[in-house]
Amino acid sequence: MPTAAPAAPLTNTSIEGAIDHLKASYPDAISADDREGYGGIIVDSAQLLDIARVIRDELGFDYLSSATAVDYLGAGDHMEMVYHAYRSSGGGTLVFKAQTDRDNAEIPSLVSVWRGADFQEREAWDLYGIRFPGHPNLKRILMWEGFHGHPMRKDWREAYYEEELKPFDSRWPGGHVHRAEEKNVFGKNVSYPREIDLSRLMDTSETAVYQSLGLGVDVERVMDKDGFETNELVVNMGPHHPSTHGVFRMVLTVDGETVTSLEPVMGYLHRNHEKIGERNTYLHNIPFTDRLDYISSMGNNHGYVLAVEQLLSLGRRYNEPTYRCEALRVMMVELSRIVNHLWAIGFWLNDIGAFFTPVLYFIQERERILDFFEAVAGSRMMCNYMRFGGLFADLPERLKSVSNLTNDRVRDYNTMQFLTEMVSERIPRTIDELEQLLTQNEILIERSVGVGVLSAEDAINYSAAGPLLRGSGVPYDIRRADPYSIYEELDFDVAVEDAGDMYARYRVRVKELRESVRILRQILPRLEATKGQSIWADGKPGAYAPRVPLGEAYGRVENGKGELGYYIVSAGGRSGTANPWRYHVRAPSFINLTPMGIMSKGYKVADIVGILGSIDIVLGETDR
Amino acid sequence: MYGTGLAKGLLLTLRHFVDSYIDDIRYGFRKYSHSVDNFGVRQGTQTKGVITVQYPDEKVAVPERFRFVPFLIIEDEDHPTRAGKDWCTSCGICAKVCPPQCIWIVRGNDPVTGRPVPEPEAFFIDIDICMNCGYCAEYCPFDAIKMDHDYELASYDRTTHHIHDKDRLSKPNSYWRSIAPTRAYEEMLSRGTWEHKDAAKEARRGQTSSRPSAPRPAAQAAPAPAQPAAQATPAPAASAGGATPWSEDDAKREERRRKALERKARRAAKRGG
Amino acid sequence: MDLNLQELNATEFPVPAELESNIAITSLSQLYNWGRRNSMWPMLFGLACCAIEMIATASSRFDFSRFGFEVMRATPRQADLMIVSGTVTKKMVVPIVRLYNQMPEPKYVLAMGACASGGGPFKEGYNVVSGMDKYLPVDVYVPGCPPTPQALLYGMIALQRKIDGQSIANGDDVPWYGAGSAEPTPVPVLGPDIIDPRQMDMIRRQAERAAQEMTALGTRELPAAMQLAPAKTAASTAAPAEAAPANGNALAYELPTGGTPWTEAEDIREKRRLRALARKALRASRRASAEEE
For residues C52 and C161, state if they share a domain.
Answer: yes
CA distance A355 to A347: 9
Q: Is residue A371 part of a domain?
A: yes
Q: Is residue A213 part of a domain?
A: no
User: Across all residues in chain A, what is the average pLDDT?
Assistant: 85
DSSP A532: T
CB-nearest partner of A176 from B34, B65, B106? B106
The complex scores an ipTM of 0.88
Nearest Cα residue in chain B from C240: B114
Look at residues A128, A149, A177 and tell me which one is the last residue of a structural domain.
Answer: A128
Q: Are A258 and A520 in contact (CB under 8 A)?
A: no
* Neighbouring residues of B61: CB distance < 8 A, sequence distance ≥ 6: A401, A402, A403, A404, A405, A408, A409, A410, A411
A404–chain B Cβ distance below 8 A for any pair: yes
To the nearest whole angstrom, how far is the Cα of C249 from the nearest Cα of chain B? Answer: 6
B6–chain A Cβ distance below 8 A for any pair: yes
Nearest Cα residue in chain C from A148: C192
Distance of CA C133 to CAs A240, A526, C57, C117, C154, Å? Answer: 19, 51, 23, 7, 20
Q: Are C218 and A159 in contact (CB < 8 Å)?
A: yes
DSSP A440: T
Q: What is the mean pLDDT of residues B100-112?
A: 86
Contacts of C61 in chain B (CB under 8 A): 50-53
Which of C123, C193, C199, C203 is best to mutate for the A interface (most A CBs within 10 A)?
C193
- How many CB atoms are located within 10 Å of the residue A123 CB? 28
Contacts of A404 in chain B (CB under 8 A): 61-62, 149-150, 178-179, 235, 238
Q: Is residue C31 part of a domain?
A: no
* Model pLDDT, residue C119: 86
Q: Are B39 and A379 in contact (CB < 8 Å)?
A: no
CB-nearest partner of C228 from A173, A176, A203? A176
Nearest Cα residue in chain B from C161: B156
What proportions of chain B, in percent to the nearest 5, are helix, strand and coil? 45, 15, 40
* Count of domains for chain A: 2
A339-358, pLDDT tens digit by residue?
Answer: 999 999 988 888 888 777 88
Q: Are B47 and B23 in contact (CB under 8 A)?
A: yes
To the nearest whole angstrom, how far is the Cα of A80 from the nearest Cα of chain B? Answer: 28
Q: Is residue C26 part of a domain?
A: no
Share of chain C above pLDDT 70, in %: 63
Contacts of C123 in chain B (CB under 8 A): 100, 128-129
pLDDT at A396 over 50: yes
Q: Is residue C184 part of a domain?
A: no
Which helix or strand (DSSP H or E) is residue A307 part of?
Answer: helix A297-312
Residue environment code for C90-103, b if the CB has 16+ CB neighbours within 10 A, otherwise e = bbbbbbbbebbbeb
pLDDT at B214 over 60: no
Q: Are A190 and C194 in contact (CB < 8 Å)?
A: yes
* Count of domains for chain C: 3
Contacts of C241 in chain B (CB under 8 A): 109, 111, 114
Contacts of B50 in chain A (CB under 8 A): 364, 367
Q: Are A156 and A149 in contact (CB under 8 A)?
A: yes
- What is the Cα Rg of chain B in Å? 25
User: Across all residues in chain C, what is the average pLDDT?
Assistant: 73
Q: Are C278 and B151 in contact (CB under 8 A)?
A: no
Distance of CA C190 to CAs A93, A188, A466, A579, C90, Å? Answer: 40, 14, 35, 32, 8
DSSP-based three-state secondary structure for A22: helix
Q: Which of A55-64, C122-131, C174-183 has the lowest mean pLDDT?
A: C174-183
Look at residues A93, A128, A163 and tell me which one is the last residue of a structural domain.
Answer: A128
For residues C77 and C119, state if they share a domain.
Answer: yes
Q: Are A381 and C49 in contact (CB under 8 A)?
A: yes
A25-58, pLDDT tens digit by residue?
Answer: 888 888 888 888 888 899 988 889 999 998 888 8
CA distance A624 to A141: 12
* Model pLDDT, residue A340: 92
CA distance A193 to C192: 7
The partner residues of A101 in beta bridges, in order of sequence, read A78
To the nearest whole angstrom, how far is the Cα of A621 from the nearest Cα of chain C? Answer: 10
For residues C147 and C222, state if they share a domain.
Answer: no
**Containing structural domain, residue C203:** 196-242
- Provide the CATH number for the domain around residue C160: 3.40.50.12280
In chain A, residues 238-297 whose CB comes closer than 8 Å to chain B: 280-281, 283-288, 290-291
pLDDT at A219 over 50: no
Q: Is residue C23 part of a domain?
A: no
pLDDT at B59 over 60: yes
DSSP C6-42: HHHH-SSS---GGGTTT-----HHHHHHHHHHTS-PB
Cα pseudo-dihedral B109, B114, B116, B119, rounded to 10? -20
Kindly list the partner chains of chain A, i.e. chains with 3 or more CB atom pairs below 8 Å. Answer: B, C
Please state the separation of Cα A442 from the chain's center in Å.
Answer: 33
pLDDT at C242 over 50: no
Q: Are C145 and B55 in contact (CB < 8 Å)?
A: no
Nearest Cα residue in chain C from A197: C207
Q: What is the mean pLDDT of residues B62-77?
A: 89
Closest CA to A128 of A68, A213, A188, A49: A68
* Model pLDDT, residue A573: 55
Nearest Cα residue in chain C from B111: C241
CB-nearest partner of B97 from A283, A376, A433? A283
- Provide the CATH number for the domain around residue A67: 3.30.460.80
Read off the pLDDT band of B241 (50, 70, 90): very low
A174–chain B Cβ distance below 8 A for any pair: yes
* Model pLDDT, residue C219: 56
CA distance B82 to A79: 58
Contacts of B162 in chain C (CB under 8 A): 117-118, 141, 143
CB-nearest partner of B104 from A177, A399, A401? A177
DSSP C281: H
DSSP A597-611: HHHHTTSBHHHHHHH
Distance of CA C227 to CAs A400, B104, C220, C223, Å? Answer: 47, 15, 12, 7
- What is the Cα Rg of chain A in Å? 25
Backbone angle region of A52, left / alpha / beta, with phi > 0 → left and psi within -120 to 50 → alpha: alpha
Q: Is residue A159 part of a domain?
A: no
Q: Are A176 and B40 in contact (CB < 8 Å)?
A: no
pLDDT at A225 over 90: no
- How many CB atoms are located within 10 Å of the residue C185 CB? 18
Closest CA to C206 of B28, A286, A195, A259: A195
* Model pLDDT, residue B216: 42
* Model pLDDT, residue B5: 86
Phi, psi (rounded to 5 degrees) for A506:
-60, -45
Nearest Cα residue in chain A from B236: A404
Look at residues A104, A128, A152 and tell me which one is the last residue of a structural domain.
Answer: A128
Contacts of A203 in chain C (CB under 8 A): 94, 189-191
For residues C67 and C137, state if they share a domain.
Answer: yes
- How many CB atoms are located within 10 Å of the residue A477 CB? 26
CB-nearest partner of A437 from B12, B36, B228? B12
Q: Is residue C227 part of a domain?
A: yes
Among A123-132, B29-38, B212-221, the range of highest mean pLDDT: A123-132
Residues constituting chain A: 624
CATH architecture of B70-202: 2-Layer Sandwich (3.30)
* Model pLDDT, residue B248: 65
A440–chain B Cβ distance below 8 A for any pair: yes
Closest CA to A283 of C211, B224, B5, B101: B101
Contacts of C157 in chain B (CB under 8 A): 56
pLDDT at A212 over 80: no
A489-533, pLDDT tens digit by residue?
Answer: 999 999 999 888 999 999 999 999 999 999 999 999 999 998 888
Q: Is residue A321 part of a domain?
A: yes
B117–chain A Cβ distance below 8 A for any pair: no
Q: Are C137 and C84 in contact (CB under 8 A)?
A: no
Q: Which of A218-227, A250-259, A411-420, B21-30 has the lowest mean pLDDT?
A: A218-227
* Model pLDDT, residue A355: 79
For residues C75 and C139, state if they share a domain.
Answer: yes
* Model pLDDT, residue A335: 93
* Per-domain boundaries in chain B: 10-61, 70-202, 228-272
To the nearest whole angstrom, how far is the Cα of A401 from the nearest Cα of chain B? Answer: 4
Q: What is the mean pLDDT of residues A418-444?
A: 89
Q: Is residue A135 part of a domain?
A: no
Nearest Cα residue in chain C from B161: C253
- Provide the CATH number for the domain around residue A278: 1.10.645.10
Q: Is residue A545 part of a domain?
A: yes
Which of B53, B62, B106, B190 is best to mutate for the A interface (most A CBs within 10 A)?
B62
Q: Are C103 and C97 in contact (CB under 8 A)?
A: no
With 0-12 / 13-18 / 19 or more C-beta atoms within 10 angstroms meaning exposed / middle / buried, residue B111 is exposed
β-pair type (A562-570, A551-559)? antiparallel
For residues C237 and C128, state if they share a domain.
Answer: no
For residues C99 and C124, state if they share a domain.
Answer: yes
Phi, psi (rounded to 5 degrees) for C190:
-90, 100
Cβ-based contacts under 8 A for chains A and B: 231
For residues C91 and C173, state if they share a domain.
Answer: yes
Angle, helices B4-27/A427-438, rounded to nearest 10 degrees: 140
* Model pLDDT, residue C192: 84
Q: Is residue A436 part of a domain?
A: yes
* Model pLDDT, residue B44: 77
Q: Are B153 and C143 in contact (CB < 8 Å)?
A: yes
Q: What is the mean pLDDT of residues C117-121?
A: 88
* Model pLDDT, residue A579: 85
Closest CA to A113 of A45, A69, A68, A48: A48
Share of chain A above pLDDT 90, in %: 25
Which helix or strand (DSSP H or E) is residue A273 part of?
Answer: helix A273-279
To the nearest whole angstrom, how far is the Cα of C159 from the nearest Cα of chain B? Answer: 8
**Containing structural domain, residue A102:** 15-128
To the nearest whole angstrom, how far is the Cα of A297 from the nearest Cα of chain C? Answer: 11
DSSP-based three-state secondary structure for A587: coil
B57–chain A Cβ distance below 8 A for any pair: yes
Read off the pLDDT band of A300 (50, 70, 90): very high
Q: What is the mean pLDDT of residues C160-188?
A: 77
